[in-house]
Amino acid sequence: MSRPTNRRGFLGTCGTLTAGAAGPFFPSTPRALADETKAKNDRFALGLIGSGSIANANIGVAKPWIDLVAIADVDARRSAAFNARHADGKAAVHDDYRRLLDRDDIDVIHVATPDHWHTKVVVEAMLAGKDVYCEKPLTLTIDEGKLIRRVQKETGRVVQVGTQQRSDFPRFVTAMAIVAEGRLGRIKRVQAAIGGAPSSYSIPVAEPPRELNWDRWLGPAPAVEYRFLNDPQLVGKESQEKSNCHYEFRWWYEYSGGKLTDWGAHHVDIASWALELNGQTAGPLSIGGSATHPVAFEDGMPVERDRYNTATAFLFTAEFPGGTQMVIRHDTDNGVLIEGEKGRIFVSRGKLSGAPVDALADDPLPEDALANVYKNLPMEENERKGHWANFLHCVKTRQEPISDVHSHMKALNLCHLAGITARLGRTLQWDDAAEQITGDEQANAMLARPYRKGYEIEMG
């Protein structure tokens, strides 16, 4: 295993760090895996499930180490285009992802479907003996997380969640090292600002494209009609295509948690990691706040089913033992604010700032500070590429990757609880040891969701 870069000079000369500042301080080629994957038979045979926009970015960066041998997508237009672009048309193409799990020659699976499919595919992939890189958010519910964690423990499979901010050294990992080194003192408050979500007007029912298997796209979610509108009025303003399908699924509770899990999976994860590194390992005691939805809700369910329904605006506060608070909001600079007794820092994809960052010029972090928070795993330039390198390295060494399912679910539980609070409009009390909402049966029932007949998880 190669050793982490010596960061002393870097952190000793930089105050506020901005995107791109890392360039000269990281090697320009991946180190950790470059040597490990020289031989053809050292490469990973990868099966891709869901060939949409993020898969494009992910397979692009993982290419030095993987051979894309099979693609599953329920939209044949997408799998064909992906195959041509990333595998010279040579990958096997399927509509049903289970054909990939049947193959003994596939080492790793990348899951990049919409969120409502993640749990079923990840669990079945682990049971089929595959290691998995699954996009965030790992689940649609808290109970799905319990299942994934259990199966991961039982099977010992390596599962990386696609929260690549955990592999961003100049900003997020450095921020975590500042916390871990005690430079902020005891953390009192963390704030994840994740932006709001769009609303829509009524989106008309439409005939699904011939190449799209709409029933299979819906999978475990309720059977509903396909909706689609290409609105020329929106050119240059926002997404021109409104639908309950590709990309736009994010704004429907049936398939996603809205912004709370779309971006919450990233920034609440960083906020939660900071608390953990600060020795505050207990989960929340309660969460409450307020949210605005584009439609009315009754008993936690949207009344109108023809338009986006996830929260557009929100402000939640989770209370932790010892008086620590975590705030999740839409309305201020996107990023994570970490406030401790000795100082505060702000970290986002664009910058890391605050007096404790400026102080590194005179008092740099110890050489091993970043390596320590990164579990002493090899580091790479570029967070998305590094996140893949981290995963594939762990597949070889059987170590736990940096975005393991256990830490991810700790953060994602908060996002899901915020979603339940939003939908019911009341504060929730949480028993972290039992992973149950206390004193609220209706809320507790929302820890799980029904799976549509024919699309239940296949446990063996």
**Applying CB under 6 A, does 74 fall inside the site for ligand NAD?**
yes
- Rule CB under 6 A: say whether 407 interacts with ligand NAD: no
Q: Give residue for tokens 């970490």.
A: 338
CB closer to ligand NAD, 115 vs 380: 115
Contact call for residue 201 and ligand NAD (CB under 6 A) = no
14 vs 122, which CB is nearer to ligand NAD? 122
CB distance 203 to 244 below 8 Å: yes
Shortest reach from residue 136's CB to ligand NAD, in Å: 5
Judged by CB under 6 A, which stretch of 25-33, 59-67, 216-224, 405-413 contacts ligand NAD?
A: 216-224
Is there binding between residue 168 and ligand NAD (CB under 6 A)? no
Taking residue 244's Cβ as centre, other Cβ atoms within 10 Å add up to 27
Binding residue (CB under 6 A) for ligand NAD from 26, 169, 217, 430: 217
CB of 379 to ligand NAD, least distance (A): 19
Question: 3-state SS of the chain: helix, strand, coil percent to 5?
Answer: 35, 20, 45
Assign 342 to helix, strand or coil. coil
- Cβ nearer to ligand NAD, comparing 351 with 384: 384
Cα–Cα distance between 275 and 186 in angstroms, integer?
A: 9
Give, for 373, the enclosing helix (H) or strand (E): helix 369-373
Is the separation of the CB atoms in 399 and 168 below 8 Å?
no
- Binders of ligand NAD among 245-264, rule CB under 6 A? 246-247, 262
Residue 310 makes contact with ligand NAD by CB under 6 A: no
Out of 7, 130, 136, 344, point to the residue binding ligand NAD (CB under 6 A): 136
Residue 69 in tokens: 């041998």
What is the distance between the alpha carbons of residues 87 and 94, in angstroms, rounded to a whole number?
Answer: 14
In angstroms, the CA 386 to CA 376 distance is 14
Does residue 140 contact residue 117 with C-beta atoms inside 8 Å? no
CA distance 445 to 437: 9
Comparison of 111 and 178: residue with beta carbon closer to ligand NAD? 111
Q: Which residue is nearest to ligand NAD (CB)?
A: 52
117 binds ligand NAD (CB under 6 A): yes
Query: What minimum distance in Å lies between the beta carbon of 61 and ligand NAD?
Result: 12
Q: Distance between CA atoms of 392 and 32, rounded to whole angstroms? A: 10
Q: Which residue's CB is nearer to ligand NAD, number 152 or number 165?
A: 165
> Would you state the structure tokens that stand for residue 60, as one six-digit string?
């692009």
Under rule CB under 6 A, residue 50 binds ligand NAD = yes
Site for ligand NAD (CB under 6 A): which residue of 131, 135, 269, 339?
135
Does residue 113 sit in helix, strand or coil?
coil
Please identify which residue in 33, 36, 68, 73 interacts with ligand NAD, judged by CB under 6 A. 73
Token pair of 400 as six digits: 């736990």
Query: Considering the rule CB under 6 A, would residue 124 count as an interface residue with ligand NAD?
Result: no
Give which of 324, 323, 333, 329 is closest to 274, Cα–Cα: 324
Is 403 near ligand NAD (CB under 6 A)? no
Least Å distance between CB 72 and ligand NAD? 5
CB of 250 to ligand NAD, least distance (A): 7
DSSP 173: I
Contact (Cβ atoms closer than 8 angstroms) between residue 32 and residue 378: yes
Which residue in the block uniquely carries the two structure tokens 């910058």? 351
Q: Decide if residue 53 touches ligand NAD (CB under 6 A).
A: yes
Single out the residue of 87, 112, 142, 187 in contact with ligand NAD (rule: CB under 6 A): 112
- Chosen residue from 26, 44, 97, 308 binding ligand NAD by CB under 6 A: 97
Binding status of residue 408 toward ligand NAD by CB under 6 A = no
Tell how far CA 340 is from the center of its chain: 26
Q: Where are the alpha helices (DSSP H) in 14-137?
A: 53-62, 76-87, 98-101, 115-127
User: Smallest gap, in angstroms, from Cβ of residue 75 to ligand NAD?
Assistant: 4
Give me the residues that bind ligand NAD (CB under 6 A), please. 49-55, 72-75, 78, 97, 112-115, 117, 135-136, 162, 164, 216-217, 219, 246-247, 262
